[in-house]
Structure 1
Amino acid sequence: MFDVEYARWQEEHNRLMYELRAALQQHLPEGELQMYVESCLAHHDEVLAIKDAVIKGDVFHLISGVWRSPAERCFLWLGGFRPSEVIKMVLSHVDPLTEQQIVAVYGLQQSAVQTEEALSQGLDTLYQALSDTVVSDALTCCSTPNVSNYMGQMGLAVHKLTTLEGFVRQAEKLRQQMLHRLHQVLTARQMARSLLAVSDYFHRLRVLSSFWVNRNRMAPQDQQLEAGPHT
């Protein structure tokens, strides 16, 4: 169900990006361009509700990345993009920035990195605690005398796993906050360029994935081209 809803969200996202790009190329006034930017941000907010449902139902499905293309999975962090990486894209694609904007954006990046590190460290601690619970002597067998201990340890492991949902929700909140804070710092035109840069980045990863998946079929064609026409 999530995969279907996300695919629909992606289709709408592509449409909004097409409209945003057209609006940017038409050199619309800031006020008009702002409406397109706000529509895109509102659409980004919608994916949070879609993800929240799957976090409750099957958080492992979300963090596994099976709903994303193979290349995108390589860069997946707690079910989505790293906010600090998006800010790097903004800094490399949006010019010129005022000195005040540069200070604000770098401040956002530093804050994002610190929060990402804290969440990653917390996740590592959770995984270690979960591993310690699973390898406990109480789970070595399930003979009648140890059923109580076995079930108790399994219950403890399940409880630890529920905290994983909290980590993913915090990551989703960080992604949302980062986009909205960037919107507060940048002009409508700069924010439009930022959104398009991020969208183009993930589109290229999906194209790369398509080439990767079809590489075996493409190899014979490449060999034929290299061999040239037969005489």
Structure 2
Amino acid sequence: MSILAFEKFYVRWLEEMKHRFEKLRAALLQASLSEEEVVAVLVQACHSHYCEYMSEKIKLCKEDASFVVAGMWRTPLEAGFLWMGGWRPTTAVVLAYSLMGMQIESELQKLLEGIELPTMAALSARQLSMLDSLQQKLRVSEDDLSNRLAILQMLLADQQMAKATAANPPPSESNDFQDVREAMEPKLAGLRDLLAEAEQLRGETIQEMLQILRPIQAGQYALAAYEMTMAVRKLGNQREGKSHLAAVSSGAPTNIRELASQGDVDLLAKALETGVDPSEPDYDGRTPLHLAACEGHTECVSLLINKGADVNRKDNFGVTPLFEALRAGQDATAQILVESGAKTHLEDAGIELCRAAATGDIPYLSRLVKYGVDPNASDYGDRTPLHVAAAEGNTEAAAVLVREGADVLAKDRHGFTPLDEARVADDQATIRMMKRTFEVVSFRSETDHV
């Protein structure tokens, strides 16, 4: 999942979560010990919806771990209190104790009279013991993850990174980040693993809390957690709103990357009139044109190009706006870019084509070759995408490649051809198609010779 897709998902997810908790709040107002089952169903619905958010966040970790650990889809206030890209698991236990203390104050007389209550004020000795055990376990797990993160952060300055940043010319004066990327990749992989473990720990914490608490207690607990989260978010939004108003009143230019990604062409045009650079990059080197192309905002793409945006500007990962459009399936923006002189300039084109061929992603494969990626580009083993399609039995992918000029007799480093791969896979349809192609090419060659 891309960052922009996740941000849109999060907005929709929050709105749906609001509706679910409105139902839970209404049920809790009517709840009694005899109605625990109704509340239990609503709590489970809220939990399932939260699990959907956790799942999408884990997917995003694989795409951009640094974005997740910084909590950049949240307000700065919220992000300031994050641990490993989310809430610290031990806060779940602290909230339970806080609710218990608060409710004991309001319901002390009923407790003294021995009235059975379904609230957090009536946590049993067994429940308290389980909460204590959970808290101790979480502290150990949190300390382990935090220590491993600290080690990973220190390794940012290891010998491999020092060597990569001591290149001539230095990274500050060059657009070649290949050595830096290679030095950073194991660190980012470690960060992804830590974030996945932290998210798993949060998920396990919620499960254990729901097992410890009775249904109505769980409902009150879940509602309190939701309200606390929303309160911090709203306070963060108010603080950001003031900052934004201050920026506008001082004449500061609007973030044109955000406007481009949202497709707000009118505000983008006004922002560009202030003289801001139409190719102003973000921390990853992505320009407004990268973001508009990825989202398919054709008017913004045309506007940026007319204002002088560099159509072939690469981000820090070597990706051009055209490749962003192709990867996202935005044919209309891709066409505008090509007509304006854009090229894919795709690094590791063979690897990208082979990946598409292996997964059978025909639309993506077709777009790549249509917009100039060589169908005979090879991977590190000199395998072309046609080798891969034949080996995987993806006849449709093979047909697309052959139609676009892929060589059925291209040899990999072991001397195998795509036709050989098809024979090994016993893919008769691909074999027949390749043989027909070979015969046609041979006939044309002989005719030309004569």
TM-score, normalised by the number of residues in structure 2: 0.45
1:118 aligns with 2:144: yes
* Long gaps (5+) in structure 1: 144-149, 219-231
1:54 aligns with 2:60: yes
Which of 88, 91, 103 aligns to 2:129? It is 103
1:151 deviation in Å? Answer: 6.2
Larger radius of gyration: 2
Does the 8 A contact of 2:164 with 2:183 survive in 1?
A: no
Q: Secondary structure at the match of 1:136?
A: helix
- Size of the alignment, in residue pairs? 212
1:137 deviation in Å? Answer: 4.1
Q: Secondary structure at the match of 1:24?
A: helix
Distance 1:151 1:214 in 2: 39
Distance 1:65 1:171 in 2: 14
Match in the other structure for 2:96? 90
Which aligned pairs between 1:3-82 and structure 2 lie closer than 5 A?
3-27=7-31, 29-82=35-88
Which aligned pairs between 1:215-230 and structure 2 lie closer than 5 A?
215=242
Distance 2:210 2:231 in 1: 24
Distance 1:14 1:58 in 2: 27
Does the 8 A contact of 1:119 with 1:167 survive in 2?
A: yes
- Amino acid paired to 1:130: L
1:132 deviation in Å? Answer: 2.1
Does the 8 A contact of 2:149 with 2:191 survive in 1?
A: yes
Match in the other structure for 1:169? 196
Does the 8 A contact of 1:90 with 1:197 survive in 2?
A: no
Please identify, of 203-212 and 96-105, the stretch whose mean Cα deviation from structure 2 is larger.
203-212
Distance 1:50 1:153 in 2: 28
CA deviations 1:40-86 (Å, max 9, x no partner) are 11111111221122111111111121201222111111111111012
Which of 180, 187, 207 aligns to 2:214? It is 187
Does the 8 A contact of 1:133 with 1:153 survive in 2?
A: no
Distance 2:23 2:137 in 1: 32
Distance 1:194 1:180 in 2: 13
Distance of aligned partners of 1:106 and 1:50 in 2 relative to their CA distance in 1, 3 Å threshold: same
Distance 1:39 1:155 in 2: 43
How well do the aligned residues superpose, as a CA RMSD in angstroms?
Answer: 2.1
Which aligned pairs between 1:203-214 and structure 2 lie closer than 5 A?
203-214=230-241
1:152 deviation in Å? Answer: 6.4
Distance of aligned partners of 1:47 and 1:154 in 2 relative to their CA distance in 1, 3 Å threshold: closer
Distance 2:54 2:242 in 1: 34
Q: Secondary structure at the match of 2:31?
A: coil
Distance 1:90 1:110 in 2: 15
- Amino acid paired to 1:20: L
1:95 deviation in Å? Answer: 1.5
Match in the other structure for 2:300? none
Distance 1:2 1:137 in 2: 35
Does the 8 A contact of 1:133 with 1:157 survive in 2?
A: no
| % same residue | 28
Match in the other structure for 1:196? 223
1:134 deviation in Å? Answer: 5.9
Distance 1:212 1:155 in 2: 39
1:131 deviation in Å? Answer: 2.0
Does the 8 A contact of 2:58 with 2:196 survive in 1?
A: yes
Distance 1:53 1:3 in 2: 13
Distance of aligned partners of 1:52 and 1:26 in 2 relative to their CA distance in 1, 3 Å threshold: same
Q: Secondary structure at the match of 2:192?
A: helix
Distance 1:36 1:138 in 2: 53
1:142 deviation in Å? Answer: 3.4
TM-score, normalised by the number of residues in structure 1: 0.85
